[in-house]
Homo-oligomer: A and B are copies of this chain.
Amino acid sequence: MPSLSLTTLDHVPMVQSGDDLSAVLLTALEEQGLTLQPDDTLVLAQKIVSKAEGCIRNLEDITPSAQAVELGQETAKDPRLVQAILDESTEVVRKRKGVLVVRHKNGWVMAQAGIDQSNVEGAHKGNILLLPKDPDGSATKLRTALEERTGVAPAIVIADSFGRPFRNGTTGIAIGAAGLESFTDIRGETDLFGRELKVSTVAHADEIASTASLLMGQGSEATPVVLIRGLARSPHLPAKALIRPIEDDLFR
């Protein structure tokens, strides 16, 4: 019977800028009596990747432009934060009081360009956390480092929480991935009655991110890494394959 198991890593310390995540993960696995296996998938909260990569700015250092001041008034947000959001983005997609949805430079349509102030050390002094510059690259590097240290290359997903049009609440989304097929195209396969499936493309890595999110918690439950065992391994396709091209976007 196909089955999956999920376990949180319970010994991940507060990650600091410059930390080697492969070392952090291997220590955490070891302290829990776990050994990496080839078909393992490790899901990391975006925050610890951003922290390790030092993707931090401080609001004190930001001078908002006239556009940021105006948008700040419209959205009831700190104009320095708005400037940081604009610096990470290519366009404003939707705005209203309390809401600023943009297209991030990497293509994601998301609130606040993914900039976070919760669970960020020094947030009360103005520190804000940006998304990693190239999360698919971060995932690939981490996977390679783990393979170099252990001989085993797990799949890696870097997960964030996104809001969505039409639905309340956030779900886990893959912003980076390595060693698995982020997006699965099963068009051309047949159904139980031999009828060809017309539209069947599955956001596999997003579903993995949502799965891990069930255990990660969002508040003070500091469980930023989840180990998944039992996922079928498939060819590599990065998480950027999950971003719908602008020209196909009916909701821009």
Residue of A14, A164, A199, A231 most packed against chain B (CB within 10 A): A164
Q: How many positions in chain A have a CB within 8 Å of any CB in the partner chain?
A: 76
Give chain B residues whose Cβ lies under 8 Å from the Cβ of A21.
none
Q: Which of B2, B169, B192, B200 contacts A242 (CB 8 A)?
A: B169
| Residue A243 is within 8 A (CB to CB) of chain B in the complex | yes
Q: Tell me the bound Cα distance from A118 to B195 in angstroms.
A: 7
A222-252, CB under 8 A of B: which get 1 and which 0? 1100000011000000000111100001110
Give chain B residues whose Cβ lies under 8 Å from the Cβ of A5.
3-6
For window 208-232 of chain A, which residues contact chain B by CB distance below 8 Å?
A: 208, 210-211, 213-215, 218-220, 222-223, 230-231
A137-173, CB under 8 A of B: which get 1 and which 0? 0000000000000000000000001011111111111
> B168 contacts A201, CB within 8 Å?
yes
Q: Tell me the bound Cα distance from A142 to B249 in angstroms.
A: 38
Q: Tell me the bound Cα distance from A59 to B223 in angstroms.
A: 51
> A197 contacts B218, CB within 8 Å?
yes
| Min C-beta distance of A71 to chain B, whole Å | 15
A183-217, CB under 8 A of B: which get 1 and which 0? 11010011111010111111110111011011100
What number of copies of this chain does the assembly contain?
2
For window 70-117 of chain A, which residues contact chain B by CB distance below 8 Å?
A: 94, 96, 99, 101, 108-109, 111, 117
Q: Tell me the bound Cα distance from A168 to B181 in angstroms.
A: 13
Give chain B residues whose Cβ lies under 8 Å from the Cβ of A96.
250
Q: Tell me the bound Cα distance from A166 to B94 in angstroms.
A: 13
| Min C-beta distance of A31 to chain B, whole Å | 11
Q: Which residue of B lies closest to A213 (CB)?
A: B207
Q: Which residue of B lies closest to A246 (CB)?
A: B166
| Residue A121 is within 8 A (CB to CB) of chain B in the complex | yes
> A167 contacts B211, CB within 8 Å?
no
> B249 contacts A167, CB within 8 Å?
no
Q: A123-B193, A165-B249, A204-B214 are in contact. List 8 more A-B contacts (CB 8 A).
A: A3-B6, A3-B7, A3-B215, A109-B166, A167-B242, A168-B183, A171-B207, A202-B213
A contacts, CB < 8 Å to B: 1-8, 10, 14, 32, 94, 96, 99, 101, 108-109, 111, 117-121, 123-124, 161, 163-173, 183-184, 186, 189-193, 195, 197-204, 206-208, 210-211, 213-215, 218-220, 222-223, 230-231, 241-244, 249-251
